[in-house]
A and B are shown apart, each in its own frame.
Chain A
Amino acid sequence: MRTCLVWGVLLSIGWLMLGSWQTVTIPEKLSDYGFFKDKLADQQPADGVVPYALNTPLFSDYAEKLRFVKLPAGQSVAYNDTAILDFPVGTTLIKTFYYPNDFRNPDKGRRLIETRLLIHQSEGWKALDYVWNEDQTDALLEVAGDTKTVSYIDANGQFQQHPFVIPNLNQCKGCHNRAEVMTPIGPSVRQLNGDLTYGDKRPENQLRHWQRTGILTGLPALEKCPKTPVWNKPETGSINDRARAWLDINCAHCHNPKGPAMTSGLNLNYSEKDPTAFGIQKTPVAAGRGSGGRTYDIVPGKPDESILIYRLESTDPGEMMPELGRKTVHRESLVLLKEWIKAMK
């Protein structure tokens, strides 16, 4: 009996050491977290869960996203105007992917696909993915990823049907990676600096709302805060600014000096100033057939001779960029990027 107990204790310790997400404490269902009140699929945030939006978000095959952040009770995040906000341990970022049945009319309902969580634990950020069931009553933990077929009427009234890839846990880090450390991508001051409607109230600037509700400290006057332009709203920035903002959120999570695509020497950070580093007349390194037979990443004035455009136009997994999370072409952003390159001298 004694041996049995010793073994039991040893096994338990070994089990806990497997890594915290592997322990039995990981909730199997999204509903176990209590992030939402009432019907889970309505995604009505519970107290302390704050919705947010980004000015220029990542394109994910036209999926719409609901984003929420939950800080540990009584804690806050400090303002900084350059990097992703440094959320305290205990913070969870919540992102639900869905497709409206008809993009022209939200009243026709929607289909939730998956809810991704980034949880800030003492040993770092952890990614978890919950896939919604057919009945849309709950979402279940998925480790190894999956592929679903989605269908919807798009904004032009066209019926669309395509596969949607739910990443495995390793693939989460394919994007959420700074110097091999799991890191959030979106919530920076410049991305949050814009209005959002909270409940039934009038729209309010997100930074001001965060400050007012006590989760953001050190906010200077709003006009001093940087602001990422909205990629498809010309009134928010020049073509150059909007194109660079789009590349920043869609590409720079890998294409930055500490990201997985650092080996390419192509850096698509918003702040990159060296023209070769962000692609102008830059030769490819390991593009393989992703070069599309073109010589440079960006040929000024010639979008159709630029590798960057070729890779965004492709849906072949051996050629396309980004490597993951895309089965369709983002036609609208291509228009912007082509205009951007065309205007270059």
Chain B
Amino acid sequence: MKLYLLSLLACLCTQLAWAQPTVQKRYQTQLIMADNGSTIDLDAGTFTFTGSLSLQDKKRIVIRGKGIDKTILSFKGQTDGAEGLRVSNAEDIVIENLTVQDSKGDGIKTMNVKGITFRNVKVEWTGAPKAENGGYGLYPVQCDNVVIDGCTAIGASDAGIYVGQSRGIVVKNSKAYHNVAGIEIENSRNADVFDNEAYENTGGILVFDLPDLVQKQGGNVRVFNNYVHDNNFPNFAPAGNIVASVSDGTGLMILAANNVEVFNNRFIHNQTLGTAIISYLLTERPITDKAYYPFATGISIHDNVYERNAGPVSQRGRYNKLFSQVLKPGQDVPHIIYDGIADPNTLDKDGKLQADKRICIRNNKNQSFVNLDAGRGFQHVSFNTTPFDCQLEPIKTSVSNNR
């Protein structure tokens, strides 16, 4: 009997090429061989990989390190593969207690995963932030039930924490700094972003809907209890990417997204603007996607705190030039900016938005506001909040994953 087991083990070992005992092969083999339901424990220490690690077609796997900055997977000098760790076509995956460093492309990409939790995970590009850094730090895309909890993202040349084309999302207790965008929710539905700190990015938090993607029309996003401060970092995104047009000094930007509720946040020392609500039309990029809806509608900004130092806004970035045209010399850019571009099909005969499509701005500390009226060539720039003093139904997200 013993002999039988031993021979089985022997077969297994020769098959797995244990003979080449590099860590990369060992961990990659473990990821390929993992049984559903198993835990892959990573040792403490810094491990250097020349290629991506990948997990696919598995269920209920935990990839667990010994802690942030204790288990470090370094991809410095990576020669193969476009991300550090990649998980695809899987269910109920947990990645926790580890750091991924200096991958050539994205840090951790998870695609097509039903149930993905990142817990106590740091993704960073070491050294000064630069355009050569990878695009996204944590990058779940086309996933269901995404939880990002207690994570940190540093140095991404696009977004540190990026959730794209996904459904059912919680981003909480996390930090993002020295990224172009700190936290970005893009073309995603039902997201709660709360108790996070986004600081020293170009833009703190972005809620975007973009054309030409598989999942259209994100929305139902709540952004609350976040501390979004000092996001004045010069934009270092490679040109061409949409975030390259985000002005430094941006706290929160909502672009073409629908049903977004922003409340109880502190937007502090974001020198250009605290919160912007803009349409994709303002980007002046062509739209050929017929199913795309370029307007921001159903936006509620209430009970937030705005503060910043006196002084001029950053002169970098395309939108800042715009302010110089619509503001009097010396006039501060208001904390909250709406481009005023509304869908003509949703206006009633008095030119007002339908009730559930309104932009509502109420009860924010230090509230100041401008409607740029960009749709009509900035002719009627208005600082009057009265038309926007309303309350939308609170958004209920249907996030069920609370692991």
Contact = CB atoms under 8 A, between A and B. Distances in A.
Pairing of A with B: yes
Interface of A: 4, 7-8, 11, 15, 18, 22, 24, 26, 28, 141-147, 163, 165, 168-171, 173-174, 180, 257, 260, 262-265, 274-277, 281-296, 307, 316-318, 323-324
A22 B79 CA distance: 29
Interface stretch (B115-123, B208-216, B269-277, B395-403): B208-216
A289 B35 CA distance: 36
B149 to A, nearest CB: 23
Residue of A283, A285, A288 most packed against chain B (CB within 10 A): A288
Contacts of B57: 173, 180
Given A180-B89, A288-B105, A293-B239, A263 B164 contact: yes
Contacts of B54: 168, 170-171, 174
Residue of A11, A292, A293 most packed against chain B (CB within 10 A): A293
B368 interface: no
A171 B400 CA distance: 32
Nearest to A169: B32
A324 B285 CA distance: 31
Given A277-B212, A283-B240, A288 B8 contact: no
Given A288-B136, A324-B81, A276 B288 contact: yes
Interface in B84-114: 88-89, 103-106, 111-112
Contacts of B132: 289, 318
B241 interface: yes
Nearest to A7: B1
A8 B1 CA distance: 7
A320 to B, nearest CB: 8
A265 B11 contact: no
A283 B292 CA distance: 14
A226 B101 CA distance: 48
Nearest to A21: B15
A317 B213 contact: no
B16 interface: yes
Contacts of A180: 57, 88-89, 112
Interface in B16-74: 16-17, 20, 24-25, 28-29, 31-33, 35, 50-51, 54-57
B81 A293 contact: no
B4 A8 contact: yes
A275 B89 CA distance: 29
B289 A276 contact: yes
